[in-house]
Structure 1
Amino acid sequence: MVHKAVLGTGLLLLSSLVFLVYTELGTKRPEKLFITTAGTVDMCLSCHQDVKLDSFHDAQVIGCAPCHLGDPAAVTAEAAHKGMVVNPGDLRVADKTCSVAGCHPADIHKVKNSLMATNRGILGTLLYYWGESESQDTDLTVEKLLESDENSLALDYFRKLCATCHLWKQKGDLPGFPEFFSEKGGGCSACHFTRSDTPEDSWVLVADDTSFERKEKRPHPRITSKVKSSNCVRCHNRSGRIGISYMGIFESEGYGTPYENGGLTDKQLPGQRFYLDVANDVHNARGMDCIDCHTRNEIMGDGTSYAHYEEQLEISCIVCHSDNPGTTRKGNLLNNIEGDDRQRLIVGKVNGKRHPLKPPKKGVCDFPAHKRVSCEACHSTWVAQCYGCHVKRDPAKKDLDKLALAETEGLWTEGRSYIRYERPMLGVWGDEVVVVTPGCQDIVTIQDKKGLEEKSFHRFTMAAINPHTTQAKGRSCTDCHASTKTVGLGEGRLEEVDGELVFYPLDQGVATSVGQTVPFDAYVTINGKARQHSSRAELRPFNKGELKAILRLGLCVGCHNSYEDPIWKDYSQAMQCKRQQTQDEQKRVTAKKPL
């Protein structure tokens, strides 16, 4: 028995030895040991020597494993790739990659709490508008939704139609979708990532069926801190559309035709949308990128989880355009302002261009009657206005939950009534006149599995916005004071009847199963009563007195359209137009003359 045991052990050892020898002979080992200039062994370089990155992430300096994990001491691809991550910027792993000591240890906490990661503003507002919350403030975040199966009518809508614009989204997680949608997100990589084999404009100015010719082996993406606007537009091209508006791009539904030279025009946006080229923002025209104005803490967060964008926002026009530029609303100094008291300059963070900073024009921007008017209210000559969001849910069909990445019951479809860009509407936020645009004008229909209506509701809301369509020359006097749309009444006809103003709107709203909606472009009645909700408690339309004062000037500014006109020095609403008085007198004289 002992001899058999010894024999068995010997055979086992011999078999193991043969296996090891066979494995060793079949293993292609690197010819040398690869050591980075930082002094660490990283055998990944035996295969990936041709990777070209910026100096801060040079693989020859730090290797591959500090970012991509895996086993840097392994000599086979299978062993080396065990535990590897393709995207080190993914927020699920960034605490082991980007944010380790010696790299960016303070940033991951900030990014995870930023609005672009939490989506608290979107979630809180949607839940409130749809009657599922008593407040627009919520502690619910995308991360919490990813960790749970929490759902509701509003959350199901968010999961299926909204959940591709947040930093927790993984790159390449939507196979079969147009590349634009699949490549969005990626945590840190959402911003600091660009492909060298893809045209920059492909992130927005591209049809859904566009494909790019690429080499079989794709080059490693570039990592950069010089984030171009084309990266920002990956997300900021829907909803408020501030990204594409900044570039002078407007969705063209309702304007012109989607056809050109016998076929579909190549002016297309992802999601089967067409566009027109209109006036781009003056800062864009001068070669400025988004990060030239917006600060690191605004974009990446400062560690605080804010409920709404205005809480995270630091900059405003006067941060640069003032007599003493460079200090943000939160008291922080911009790091790209240079010069002295004679001339201050803002330096482009991407291209290094220097742009002189000009203070507000004296006698115009400080015009006493306009002391409440924000810069954008005057200098934004257009804004994307999407009227009427018609939403329907069919429980008999399934749709992809973009968070769970699984198809679940309920297919959402949506359409709109119409979209416009001209004559931005104005309202009052706190004590400041601002631009407003349709926020959510939801007309929601919920079907049962037989296709019959189970539930329906509608809620119209106007929201304050900085359109990012700034022009050097502001809007004309008549564009505000003689426009019923600008003051919030909507398009229509204004008349004076028995000494009172009467407004006849063009838009009459639409009939729904729960009643007639208000006109889509009507924020307020001529008597100052709000016709739609406002996106913030402090936001409101003009009241009756303000409407009367603004429109009263509409009779004057057609002629008196200069800030230097002496009429404005002692103007009051009691003043009478001398030209009108002369015309009235001439009519009376003519009427008395015998025929």
Structure 2
Amino acid sequence: MGMSGRSRNRLALLSTVLLALIIAVMAVKEMLVKRPQQLYVTSSGAVDMCLSCHTEEKLDRAHDVEMIGCSPCHLGNPLAITKEEAHQEMVVNPGDLRIVDKTCSVEGCHPADVHKVKNSLMATNRGILGTLLFYWGESDSQNTDLTVEELIASGHNSFALDYYRKLCGTCHLWKQKNDIPDAPDFFNEKGGGCSACHFLIPETEIKAAESLVADTASEEEKAKKIHPHITAKVDQNNCIRCHNRSGRIGLSYIGIFESEGYGTPYEKGGMTRNQLPGARFYLEIADDIHHNKGMQCIDCHTRNEIMGDGTSYAHYEEQLEISCEVCHSTNPGTTRKNNVLNNLAGTNETPLLKGKIDGVMRPLRPPRPGVCDFSPHKRVSCEACHSTWVPQCYGCHVKQDQRGKHLDKLSLKETAGLWEEGRSYIRYEKPMLGIWENEVVIVTPGCQDMVTVVGKDGKDSGGFNRFTMAAINPHTTQKKGRECVDCHASPKTVGLGEGTIYQQDGKLAFRSMSRGIETSSGRTVPLDAWVDIEGEQLQHGSRPNVRPFNKKELQKILQVGLCAGCHDSYQDPLWTNYTADMACPVTTQAKGRKNETSKK
């Protein structure tokens, strides 16, 4: 049955009215759109309408918005004139390694660097992962090809990796900034790929704004949210944001020692104000002489060390290319990878090192003749003598409770297995020495793991102990080296631990102050004992060729200690013709007088 003429007319009228309403709504909506008064074109010739709203962002000259705009870094739609359309597929952090191929790495920007960064140890964490898997018995080698990127993509997990994911998974460049809701700022500021190093954190925004806008910036300008200052002059604070746990070299460099949790010295009846993020108390000790002279981390460490050179290394010593001798030698300036320092200045007679941030020229002094080239110390590394303290975190108590859940820092999901961690005690004095290949170096507790597993029934369901001493350059260099007796007469320094050395039946013996700790896996060795007086190794070394002094070396070192208390100068004639069987004339005469007295 067909539609009547009247019905068709009504339908046509209704359609016309509806169309008119739609047109009216669209017209009103179009009228309400705030249109830019001009077409914004960057000095490079690109249209970027982002600049119609973002008119006050002030960046460094290399990233000047008037030259490159916003969209080359933040993506989005540069031709849109509304916020909603412009911000579609926009990224807040262009340095995020997940999208950096579309931002920092494009042709004309930094195409060669992203490959290097993604293969650097700070991105892969191969050293941490390989060592952890080896220490905890899940691998036969410390070398692994496993990376953080692979863990994120695959979700691969194990007992050791679960520990890494939940307690260590915030210390790598793949971590996204502000990815953990309600977490302290300290955690959310970490990571961010390229941005981890190359932008100034919010605490320094005002300083950055003043340096870029004017020294007389108004209070209104200071109160506005400032775009982070992107810089190649990486400040040490960005380094310390990551390098403040484990070896703690960032903190040590500036003279901060994370102390016990007592909160001393007390202030007006309360805890000390000297606290790091996470309520970690600290003491102020002697900072590294390079820091004391105003040097930043990047003044010593090279671009390829920090960002990587494109090779995926297994351990830090493979990526590292500087040493003390690179600057302090008779022919300074060339790294162990045969690269010339780009901040070397001066002449062959007066070599200088130019500060990469402050521009200050600092003289490079050669080693002191007659001291640093002292023949018996030819195996002693610079830091073994000139680093007078090192953080020593003894006893890592680790517990996994299978009844609870914990946030996986890589997947950002809570999964079964709640981890807790604590230490026995922490010290800084008398850095211990050992051998790495054929060099005397400083060692410190690497991971003295005492692992306990609590099952779903709440009962102890297993665990293990694994103690390791790790070689380290503590970044606490002082102008004056350690006293002779600090090494030659200290049982702790030579690896025996705190205690007393004495003679028994004509042989050296040692009585330790510690008896170890009783754990579910048995009693441990004394935490500060790496070797016994007979030269038997009690704890592992952090590398296959890192070991304590053997029996012969211990005897030679301690024998010298009998003389070093009095003969404490390298120029002392005694050391010219010293032999281990030399008799001390003072003690010999004293013994003779004692014998004569007893005869009378």
Q: Does TM, scored on the shorter chain, surpass 0.5?
A: yes
Map of 1:382-397 to 2, 5 A cutoff? Answer: 382-397=389-404
CA shift, 1:510, in A, is: 0.5
Return 5+ residue gaps in structure 2 as ranges.
208-220
8 Å CA contact 1:258–1:274 kept in 2: the answer is no
Q: Give the letter for the 1:33 counterpart.
A: L
Query: How big is each residue's C-alpha offset from its partner over 1:400-439, in whole Å with a ceiling of 9 and x where there is no partner?
Result: 1111111111111111110000000000000000000000
CA shift, 1:271, in A, is: 1.8
CA shift, 1:513, in A, is: 1.8
Q: Secondary structure at the match of 1:176?
A: coil
Q: Give the letter for the 2:35 counterpart.
A: R
8 Å CA contact 2:186–2:277 kept in 1: the answer is yes
Select the residue among 528, 536, 540 that pairs with 1:529. Answer: 536
8 Å CA contact 1:254–1:418 kept in 2: the answer is no
Q: Secondary structure at the match of 1:223?
A: coil
Assess, with a 3 A threshold, how the Cα gap between structure 1 residues 63 and 436 changes in structure 2: closer, same or farther: same
Output the CA distance in 1 between the equivalents of 2:205 and 2:61: 23
Q: Secondary structure at the match of 1:422?
A: coil
Output the CA distance in 2 between the equivalents of 1:348 and 1:171: 30
Structure 2 residue 58 is the aligned partner of structure 1 residue 48 = no
Q: Secondary structure at the match of 2:563?
A: coil
- What's the RMSD between the two structures over aligned residues? 1.9
Map of 1:281-292 to 2, 5 A cutoff? Answer: 281-292=288-299
Output the CA distance in 2 between the equivalents of 1:200 and 1:424: 41
Select the residue among 366, 371, 390 that pairs with 1:359. Answer: 366
Q: Give the letter for the 1:409 counterpart.
A: A
Give the aligned partner of residue 174 of structure 2: 168
Output the CA distance in 2 between the equivalents of 1:255 and 1:420: 14
Select the residue among 97, 106, 130 that pairs with 2:136. Answer: 130
Query: How big is each residue's C-alpha offset from its partner over 1:44-78, in whole Å with a ceiling of 9 and x where there is no partner?
Result: 11111100100000111110001000011100001
CA shift, 1:255, in A, is: 7.4
8 Å CA contact 1:197–1:218 kept in 2: the answer is no
Give the aligned partner of residue 473 of structure 1: 480
User: Structure 1 residues 435-444 or 31-40, which shifts more?
Assistant: 31-40
Map of 1:105-120 to 2, 5 A cutoff? Answer: 105-120=111-126
Give the aligned partner of residue 81 of structure 1: 87
Q: Give the letter for the 1:400 counterpart.
A: L
CA shift, 1:7, in A, is: 7.9
Give the aligned partner of residue 429 of structure 2: 422
8 Å CA contact 2:380–2:439 kept in 1: the answer is yes
Q: Give the letter for the 1:262 counterpart.
A: G
Structure 2 residue 311 is the aligned partner of structure 1 residue 300 = no
Q: Secondary structure at the match of 2:577?
A: coil
Give the aligned partner of residue 464 of structure 1: 471
8 Å CA contact 1:254–1:419 kept in 2: the answer is no
Structure 2 residue 267 is the aligned partner of structure 1 residue 269 = no
Q: Give the letter for the 1:523 counterpart.
A: W
Query: How big is each residue's C-alpha offset from its partner over 1:482-533, in whole Å with a ceiling of 9 and x where there is no partner?
Result: 0000000000010011111000001111111221111100000111110000
Structure 2 residue 514 is the aligned partner of structure 1 residue 507 = yes
Output the CA distance in 2 between the equivalents of 1:199 and 1:367: 50
Give the aligned partner of residue 194 of structure 2: 188
Output the CA distance in 2 between the equivalents of 1:39 and 1:60: 10
Select the residue among 24, 41, 48 that pairs with 1:18. Answer: 24
Output the CA distance in 2 between the equivalents of 1:464 and 1:428: 9
Q: Secondary structure at the match of 2:366?
A: coil
Output the CA distance in 1 between the equivalents of 2:542 and 2:129: 13
Q: Secondary structure at the match of 1:346?
A: strand
CA shift, 1:11, in A, is: 6.7
Structure 2 residue 228 is the aligned partner of structure 1 residue 250 = no
Output the CA distance in 2 between the equivalents of 1:216 and 1:153: 48
Output the CA distance in 2 between the equivalents of 1:70 and 1:468: 44
Query: How big is each residue's C-alpha offset from its partner over 1:113-171, in whole Å with a ceiling of 9 and x where there is no partner?
Result: 00000000000101111111111111111101110221111111101100111000111
Assess, with a 3 A threshold, how the Cα gap between structure 1 residues 233 and 39 changes in structure 2: closer, same or farther: same
Structure 2 residue 258 is the aligned partner of structure 1 residue 240 = no
Q: Secondary structure at the match of 1:310?
A: helix
User: Structure 1 residues 234-243 or 252-261, which shifts more?
Assistant: 252-261
Query: How big is each residue's C-alpha offset from its partner over 1:197-245, in whole Å with a ceiling of 9 and x where there is no partner?
Result: 44899xxxxxxxxxxxx98752111101111111100000000000000
Select the residue among 137, 146, 154 that pairs with 1:140. Answer: 146
Select the residue among 582, 588, 599 that pairs with 1:592. Answer: 599
Output the CA distance in 2 between the equivalents of 1:31 and 1:434: 67
Aligned length: 581
Query: How big is each residue's C-alpha offset from its partner over 1:57-100, in whole Å with a ceiling of 9 and x where there is no partner?
Result: 01111100010000111000010000100000000111110111
Give the aligned partner of residue 156 of structure 1: 162
CA shift, 1:256, in A, is: 7.0
Return 5+ residue gaps in structure 1 as ranges.
202-213
Give the aligned partner of residue 211 of structure 1: none
Assess, with a 3 A threshold, how the Cα gap between structure 1 residues 185 and 200 changes in structure 2: closer, same or farther: farther
Query: How big is each residue's C-alpha offset from its partner over 1:313-353, in whole Å with a ceiling of 9 and x where there is no partner?
Result: 00000000001101001010100010112200111111111
Q: Give the letter for the 2:476 counterpart.
A: T
Structure 2 residue 100 is the aligned partner of structure 1 residue 94 = yes
Q: Give the letter for the 1:312 counterpart.
A: Q
Assess, with a 3 A threshold, how the Cα gap between structure 1 residues 550 and 509 changes in structure 2: closer, same or farther: same
Assess, with a 3 A threshold, how the Cα gap between structure 1 residues 199 and 36 changes in structure 2: closer, same or farther: closer
Q: Give the letter for the 2:491 counterpart.
A: T
Select the residue among 393, 401, 405 that pairs with 2:408. Answer: 401
CA shift, 1:259, in A, is: 3.1
